[in-house]
Structure 1
Amino acid sequence: MTEKRMSARKKHQLKSSMLVVANMLLEAESKVKVDEREKFLGDKCPPLDLPGSKEELMELCKKLHEQIDLSEEERYCSEFKLDLVRNEVRDLNIKIVDLRGKFKRPRLKKVRMSADAMLKALLGSKHTVNMDLRANLKQVKKEVKEEDKLANVGDWRKNIEDKSDRKKMFDG
């Protein structure tokens, strides 16, 4: 099945329209962020009314110092919590790297064990049954086939007469 390819002009139009839409979205997002910032600052920092007398000015300074102390405490607490979270993330990343196995695993050596030794290792003192698997095997006698006897013939000159009959078959 053949697919229709877009022309270069169509691709260019699509890219430019996508860029225009993305630019509009970024502008809208930046406006929303500016509005949120203005609202937050308006709530946290009301416009300053400077009093005329010295005592009122001293009270205003005391209030501002109290607010500064509270904000510093919040900043300190949030930084402390952030440090704890960063340390935890770093530790978890280290554990992940360790679990992935960046180190080489050693090759295991082959160990020859009998079935009895294996059962003793697995079961411990509970193992009392002797498993001699070879004792229960059936005895089979090996029969020598005639083909094997023919293969053992060493001198080819003994079978020349048989081979000459074959040659006559193919010639005739």
Structure 2
Amino acid sequence: MSRLVVGLGNPGSEYAHTRHNAGFLVVDLLGENLRASYWKDEAGAKTSQVRLGDYDVVLAKPETYMNVSGKAVSKLSDIYESAHDEVIIIHDDIDLPAGSVRVKNGGGHGGHNGLRSLTDALGTDGYVRVRVGVGRPPGRMDAADYVLEPLRGVALEELEAMVPTAAQAVIHILEHGVESAMQEFNAG
């Protein structure tokens, strides 16, 4: 059995530096930190197997658009025999202030279509989430336009600045459990 860590995002260079791809950025950093040497195409995702202490960990970035990513995650969960309630999902969250990171164990989708797809495909909303705060859109800007807007300058720097904290949250979950991670990362 492997622990499955999935970063949500959209494939393609046009989405690389958007708020919606926060999950991909975190998985990329985890791959660097855990020395992921080989990424392969598998079950509709890019995956890499790494070792963390006693755990085999599968890092994954679905190659489908986020709103239909549940199918790939469900397939990977079956392939690696990962219990659905132990899958760790990293995603952007407009309901959290920009730059904040929170850990959540289960819960609704909160209007996030990627989480809706996961819940439908996995048959549960009990998976672990690392929520990456990207803030609310300014004024009357549409939420979809906001999270898909290409970032530059300070906005991109702010997004990239929280990536190490989110990666630390994932490592903490794997090493110490979700309850400990919630106490560590949800304070303040």
Same fold (TM over 0.5): no
The structure whose Rg is larger is: 1
- Bigger RCO (CA 8 Å, 6+ sep): 2
TM-score bracket, normalised by the shorter chain, equals under 0.3
Task: Decide which structure has greater strand share.
Answer: 2
Task: Decide which structure has greater helix share.
Answer: 1
